[in-house]
Amino acid sequence: MKFRIYRYDPEKDAKPYYQDYDVALAPTDRMLLDALMRLKAQDDSLAFRRSCREGVCGSDAMNINGKNGLACITNLKDVKEPVELRPLPGLPVVRDLIVDMSPFFKQYHSIKPYLVNDTPPPEKERLQSPEDREELNGLYECILCACCTTACPSFWWNPDKFVGPAGLLNAYRFIADSRDQDLEARLDNLDDPYRLFRCYTIMNCTDVCPKGLNPALAIGKIKGLMVKRAV
Amino acid sequence: MSLEGRSVAAAASLPMRRFDAVIVGAGGAGMRASLQLAEAGLSVAVLSKVFPTRSHTVAAQGGIGASLGNMSEDHWLWHMYDTVKGSDWLGDQDAIEYMCRQAPRVVYELEHFGMPFDRNADGTIYQRPFGGHSANFGDKPVQRACAAADRTGHAMLHTLYQRNVRARTQFFVEWMALDLVRNADGEVLGVVAYEMETGDVWILQSKVTVLATGGAGRIFAASTNAFINTGDGLGMVARAGIPLEDMEFWQFHPTGVAGAGVLITEGVRGEGGILLNANGERFMERYAPNLKDLASRDVVSRSMDQEIKEGRGVGEHKDHLLLKLDHLGPEVIMKRLPSIREIAIKFANVDPIREPIPVVPTIHYQMGGIPTNIHGQVVVPRDGHHNTPVPGLYAVGECACVSVHGANRLGTNSLLDLLVFGHSAGGHIVAQNYPAQAHRDLPRDAGDAPRARLARLDAATSGESVPEIANTLRKVMQSHCGVFRNQELLAEGVSKVMAIAEQVAHTAIKDKSKVFNTARVEALELDNLIETAKATVVSAEARHESRGAQARSDYPERNDADWLKHTLWYRDGNRLDYKPVNLKPISVDSFPPKARTY
Ligand SMILES: Cc1cc2nc3c(=O)[nH]c(=O)nc-3n(C[C@H](O)[C@H](O)[C@H](O)COP(=O)(O)OP(=O)(O)OC[C@H]3O[C@@H](n4cnc5c(N)ncnc54)[C@H](O)[C@@H]3O)c2cc1C
Ligand code: SF4
Ligand code: SF4
Ligand code: FES
């Protein structure tokens, strides 16, 4: 199978380049990550992140034939040859397919990604109705892979100011939690021309999320709350 | 107050930073412990090879065991009984009592941290049935597994990370610990660590070090474990002269996706899924008339292996079995097992709403590990005492052996183990008041050994290929240390693994870059895989009985007279030692060994 892969090692390359590979696959190789592991056995200098190999850890997000996705759950049957692999767009490249994720995590951290509830907890669990719990579905499953945020043009232009779809989806995860008591502060934190309102509903994020989540919908809900609060 | 200014260790001439505590590992266990230390104001560095939420706790699906009694009556003593029985009596009953009594408390606490558990109509935490968990000392299955759909580990790991963000825990992401620093008195003074992005090697000096490096399932070819599960903590202690306990006991999970290894949670059978052979027979009714498909894992895996051996396997090669769940109906599947459906579609090409999933017993969990007590202190035999703490060293989570899982772990008891012993180790460390104590001097040779390993790799221009050796090792372990074992297989396995160990010392990598050199990381991991594999196969060969996950066709019975004891493997000389099992609980009567039926 043929690949065309973005290569860059700052220690020896003046600038990035593409390298062509042809690799013989075994019949058991099902996913793109299987092929990458085979490539790496052939050329150990090819650098990429991976861990769980089942789409739950978020390590191996990359740009696959122009679209962000996870290598470990991208079926080789579904990709056109030569498979062009690039690092996630919009983040500084550390080496090859490895990007510096810190701008992404900085935005995640900026939304206070933890439950705030200052009433002393009961001896047992805090109660939550199944309906209230249902509100968290489609939100708590985010694996912080950054596929969405690095597909968002607004984030490319303002990575330091726009929270981005993953951060906003997670902000809404806490806003939507019936146990959280920090609604007003959470909205204040986002009530800013950049942090939230740079989202122009382009929908790239929802399009690429490998977990089938819908950040654009969550963002719409936050905007709705802002409007409600304003009137 | 933090004392982490950059300075250079006079003796070692490596850059150095200082902390009260260094925790190696940001999975569930490491982050439960770090939370407590950070909240108590200690300066803590938490190292992880991957961003914390990418640790393999994220993959846990089914649930956390705790006798909350939300679904029907339950009692911690029943949980304790199930755990002792599940362990085939090799678990230490003081530790098991401690864990089962603490279980409700740590689960409630996790809920208070924000864990999105599924809920019952009355607002309490939803609990599902799981293998080996029963009411009233084996009477009937009980719903004890606290669950967030089939993403319990994901929900738990993210919740713990979030809580650590709140506590401002300091993470060192993509830092790999290479070795412990120990002085002549055996005190542990920190770790030597490798920063992946820069290729720099540091000494992180600490007053206390906690190992929470998780499992090592990557010593086997077919495994539910992540690529990063390479037994680094085990390699580190083995090289520091500390023994590993009960390493022959590896759990085969009954339901890994055939060919792919990806796990299908026992929660599927908890929700009503059943195993079928080629004749469409629900064969577990024959092996475990009472709990059937929900018997403990070692029993189900062995039964499956037996079915395959006797020619009732499914598929072209009759090499797997089927997990049927379509009768649960789409609604239950979509609500309680959404990720399982995703996995089945992606990795097995079947939609479980309509078709059964091809499954096969797959390596999943190490019951053994670094010997500890219930405070998480690492303990070794010394001066006639079996369990003397190693000053300055703790271990928690899957890399540790307390031992609560004995010869076979019950499902849901690992996530519980992380919470309970992460919490107890954290509490014990806080009580030592480390901030008031001074750092000890580093030995002159601190960091020399790992630096020599790196220097050898940098200098080697030709040698063995790391992925090839690792793959050979995995194949040998799979075929010589599998579900069924015997003397001939194991003895051959020992000599093959020892031969591979020779090759490991002669690897070479082509990539010499300092920047994010993943080839170098894999070579360093191989040093840990090999120690783990040696410990496993040597311990397994020596144990002449069948108990829990160790099933020997040449010694088919459990032999309490000779073998009711823990194995200790030492790297030096490949030596074995043994220590007694603690059959005495803290406050209740002992559960004496008896025959194990389900
Ligand atoms: C697929 C699957 C499903 C499971 N389901 C369940 C379940 O439903 N219920 C249950 O109770 N148990 C379950 N288990 C078992 C349980 O999930 C694990 O035993 C447990 O999560 C291990 O947690 P840990 O914190 O010990 O290690 P991990 O979560 O594996 O974390 C290890 C950490 O150590 C770090 N690390 C390792 N080596 C180094 C090094 N050299 N330097 C720096 N950092 C290092 C890693 O980066 C990581 O942060 C499951 C296991 C698997 C594989
Ligand atoms: S919908 Fe908003 S967040 Fe999503 S890609 Fe478009 S602009 Fe970005
Ligand atoms: S919302 Fe989806 S794409 Fe974005 S970080 Fe989360 S899981 Fe990844
Ligand atoms: S390797 Fe974990 S998401 Fe792909």
Contact check, Cβ <8 Å, A41/B467: yes
Residue-level pLDDT at A59: 98
**Are the Cβ atoms of B121 and A130 closer than 8 angstroms?**
yes
Is ipTM strictly over 0.95?
A: yes
pLDDT band at A230 (very low <50, low <70, confident <90, very high): confident
What pLDDT score was predicted for residue B570?
A: 98
Indicate the pLDDT class of residue A23, thresholds 50, 70 and 90.
Answer: very high
Using an 8 Å CB-CB cutoff, list chain B residues near A140. Answer: 116, 148, 155, 158
In a mutational test of the pocket of ligand 2, which residue from A68, A152, A213 has the highest number of ligand atoms less than 8 Å from its CB? Answer: A152
Q: Inform me whether the pLDDT recorded for B7 exceeds 50.
A: no
Question: Which of B113, B120, B127, B162 is most worth mutating to test chain A (most A CB atoms within 10 A of its CB)?
Answer: B162
E strands present in B25-89 = 44-48, 64-65
Model pLDDT, residue B353 = 96
Residue B483: its pLDDT value, please? 87
Instruction: Report the alpha-carbon distance of residue B240 to residue B201 in Å, rounded.
Output: 19
Burial B402-423 (b: 16+ CB within 10 A, else e): bbbbbbbbbbbbbbbbbbbbbb
Contacts of A223 (CB under 8 A, 6+ apart): A196, A197, A199
User: Is the pLDDT confidence value at B9 over 70?
Assistant: no
Q: How many angstroms is it from B495 CA to the middle of ligand 2?
A: 58
Is the pLDDT at B462 greater than 80? The verdict is yes
Atom of ligand 1 nearest to the CA of B52: 49
Strand partners of residue B179: B192
CA distance B391 to A231: 63
Q: What's the confidence (pLDDT) of residue B170? A: 98
DSSP assignment letter at B346: I
Mean pLDDT for B577-588 is 97
- Interface contact A196, partner B, CB < 8 A: no
Low-confidence winner among A222-226, B63-67, B414-418, B480-484 (lowest mean pLDDT): B480-484
Q: How many CB atoms lie within 10 A of CB B279?
A: 9
Task: Share the mean pLDDT of chain A.
Answer: 96
pLDDT averaged over every residue in chain B: 95
The tokens describing A145, both together, are: 């892979």
pLDDT digits (tens, 9 = 90+) for B305-357: 999 999 999 998 899 999 999 999 999 999 999 999 999 999 999 999 999 99
The predicted pLDDT at position B346 comes to 94
Q: Is the pLDDT of residue B360 over 90?
A: yes
Instruction: Give yes or no for a contact between A126 and B111, defined as CB atoms under 8 angstroms apart.
Output: yes
Query: Residue A82, preceding bond cis, omega within 30 degrees?
Result: yes
Residue B122 pLDDT grade (very low, low, confident, very high; cuts 50, 70, 90):
very high
Q: Is A222 in the pocket of ligand 3 (CB under 6 A)?
A: no
pLDDT at B417: 98
The more confident residue out of A37 and B1 is A37
Name the pLDDT band for B3 (thresholds 50, 70, 90): very low
Q: Is the pLDDT of residue B495 over 50?
A: yes
Instruction: Decide whether any atom of ligand 4 lies within 6 Å of the A165 Cβ.
Output: no
CA distance B265 to B130: 9
- For the whole model, what pTM was predicted? 0.96
CB A29 within 8 A of CB A48: no
Parallel, antiparallel or unpaired: strands B551-552 and B484-485: parallel
Angstrom distance (rounded) from CA A116 to CA B113: 9
Question: What per-residue confidence (pLDDT) applies to B11?
Answer: 45
- Nearest-Cα distance to chain A for B442, in Å, is 33
Question: Residue A161: phi, psi to the nearest 5?
Answer: -115, -35
Quote the pLDDT of residue B1.
33
CA B536 to each of CA B367, B368, B413: distance values in angstroms, whole numbers, following the listed order: 11, 9, 22
Give the pLDDT band of residue B6 (cuts 50, 70, 90). Answer: very low
Q: Please write the tens of the pLDDT for every residue from B153-171.
A: 999 999 999 999 999 999 9
* φ/ψ of residue B443, rounded to 5: -65, 155
Q: How close B140 comes to chain A (CA, Å)?
A: 26
pLDDT at B573: 95
Containing B206, the helix (H) or strand (E) segment is strand B200-211
Q: Do A9 and B108 touch (CB under 8 A)?
A: no
The stretch B506-527 carries a mean pLDDT of 97
What pLDDT score does B575 carry? 97
**Residue A210 token pair:** 């490998």
Interval B14-31 mean pLDDT: 97
As a whole number of angstroms, the distance between CA B152 and CA B145 comes to 10
Report pLDDT for B10.
43
Q: Which atom of ligand 4 is nearest to the CA of A52?
A: 2
Residues in A closer than 8 angstroms to B125, CB to CB, are 125
Sequence letter at residue A160: D
Residues in contact with ligand 2 (CB, 6 Å cut-off): A 152, 154, 165, 199-205, 215-216, 219
**Under a CB-based contact definition with an 8 Å cutoff, are residues B462 and B73 in contact?**
no
Q: Percent of chain B beyond pLDDT 90?
A: 93
pLDDT of A69 above 90: yes
Residue nearest to atom 33 of ligand 1 (CA): B25
Q: What is the rounded distance in angstroms from the CA atom of residue B545 to the CA atom of residue A180?
A: 54
**Closest chain B CA to residue A41:** B467
pLDDT of residue A202: 83
Enter the tokens of residue A20.
């062509």
Query: Ligand 2 pocket test: which of A142, A170, A219 has the largest number of ligand atoms within 8 Å of its C-beta?
Result: A219
